Structure 1
Amino acid sequence: MPKLFFLLSGENLTLPAAEVKAILEAEGYVYSNVCEFDQVLSLDSDLDSVRLVQIRSAYTRVCAQELLVANANYTDIADAVSKTDFSDVLKGGESFVVRINRIKNYADAEINTMTLEIKLGGQILRQNPGTSVNLKNPDKTFIGIITNNKLVLGLKLTDITSKTFSERRPRKKPFFHPSAMPSKMARCMVNLSRAKAESVLLDPFCGTGTSLIEATFIGCRAVGVDAQKRMVLGTRRNLKHFGIEAEGLIWGDSRKIPLFKVDAVVTDPPYGRSSSTLKSTTIQLVRDVLAASYALLGVGQRICIAAPKTLNISQLGAELGFKHVESHFAYVHATLTREIAVFEKVQKS
């Protein structure tokens, strides 16, 4: 399998890399030899997997075929390039350009990015007769990322824009609520649930419909439940705004969902708002929705749930028979840090 690397968003320390791996797992792509740098994930996997990451990921910026990793100094980089065969990715008659990005201030004293671009361009040109440099419209772009005092260099396969997520920000939707989760976070949670196209995904606290919208955009059949009628109507309005439909919208109690089976659950329960917590404490509400989700999921299927870090939901899920797969933490404001937890239903012994 070829080696790939993904330039990740710096919006969260752990979610971006976890999201890429979850996408590959959801779609059945095997990966190995994982190496994580600051905002870069390197692994071996099928080249076809890049297309799925491009379609699904919220926190990936660039996908590339990795060619080399070297210590971030001119001598070691030149040595690594001299030992790299570019003939499989750069043919005679093709033009190329080298672009270097630096994460934070890594190797700031050792490497000037513009100087490195010129040096690498010249060296690749000498090693590959018949090719040419084209700064404006190249056939191939070699992208290098300086991170953790290493240079990761590869052939760029695709850019991923975050513009569409900006267009779906909570305040840009016709129905707004201040507790609405950002679209990127919702998409990431859908991916962490390992939902795939055509699978049935449930959000038992659908709110303004953010998770349903993001799930539908990657081909899921989304079902939403909310205890407040105005939220259900607002979700329908937001879905219509984006020209999509849910598999179903239910005004009802999230603890008594009139369904027999779903393939994945993604949800962000309300925190301490009596009008929307069904007159339960937040911890009891989370416990109840975990129990209801356990009954709906099959063995091996997953729920991704957000809750205040103080609730320690990883322990709650384990008490109900789930296997805790992973947790990530997202700072919201001074009094709220979300824990994004993923649980898998396992066969009870």
Structure 2
Amino acid sequence: MVISGLESMYRYEYMDKIGSGSYGNVYKALDKQTGEIVAMKHEIRGLLSKSSFREINILQSLPRHPSMVEFKDVIMDGRRDQVYIVMEYLETDLKRYINLKEKSLGVSEVKSLMKQLLEGVKFLHENGVMHRDLKPSNLLMNGDQLKICDFGLSREFGSKSGSYTPGVGTRWYRAPELLIHGANKYYSSAIDMWSVGCIMAELVLKEVLFKGGSEIDQLSKIHRILGSPNHDVASSSSSSRLNLLRQMILGDTSCRRAPGLLTELGFDLLSKLLAYDPNERITAEDALRHGWFVEFDSYSCSEFDSILDYYRLVLYRL
């Protein structure tokens, strides 16, 4: 692990506070040496806490990837028992982006964001890393570009399910195997794929799919939409689960403003991401090969500035 000394702090000039949490604060800053705008995560949990150590180790060990936030430096202030992680700066996150959208996201936009997310998750899993806290606020954005950030709960894993810290991740995006057995230490990278499914549904609905107030309530919300985790529903090809998802999403008032946003192939992918059985849950690699990403989009005129733009696209596709 390579760590810079306190003298490196003088190359950065604080501009604005752009985020905060239990971990500390995030600031927008100017790198006076390069003129680049960066993000500085100020850890306040103490010098190299377990979470900080993991995040720094993972950020330094992973090669660059278009769907991953770029790590730049880590600075340690031993006298004040503080750590600063310097990363590339991105304008917003997916949570804010969804909330600020007045209309539903377009088909092509949902596909683009999902593709970038899946490419990032595939990259992590291929490098033996589980993120364990995928959610819209941990997906940063610049324009239409999406990048995964916040690796404080991430950890390396083997090829099979292993024994890890139970109950990790934000409740609304937590896989059922982490909820059914509160102290379950045995799980796999499939927990990330469940979170991806929740994010996909949120892109369509513009609201959280499973918004439980407690772990028990969270399970209840999942069962209400997907049915009970019996043999029928647990199968990744279960028509029961697919029909329940279709009924819930198409019946949602938010989604009625975006008819045709999810086709049969779209529901099929969502169903495979939200499979109860983690062994049956689709992988990031297989999800990227799913037919939903290559089928012809059912564009509506509302996605374009004018009817002329719409017909230009139709003629181009022909």
Same fold (TM over 0.5): no
More helix as a share of residues? 2
Alignment TM-score, normalising by the size of structure 1: 0.27
More strand as a share of residues? 1
Alignment TM-score, normalising by the size of structure 2: 0.29
- Structure of higher CA gyration radius: 1
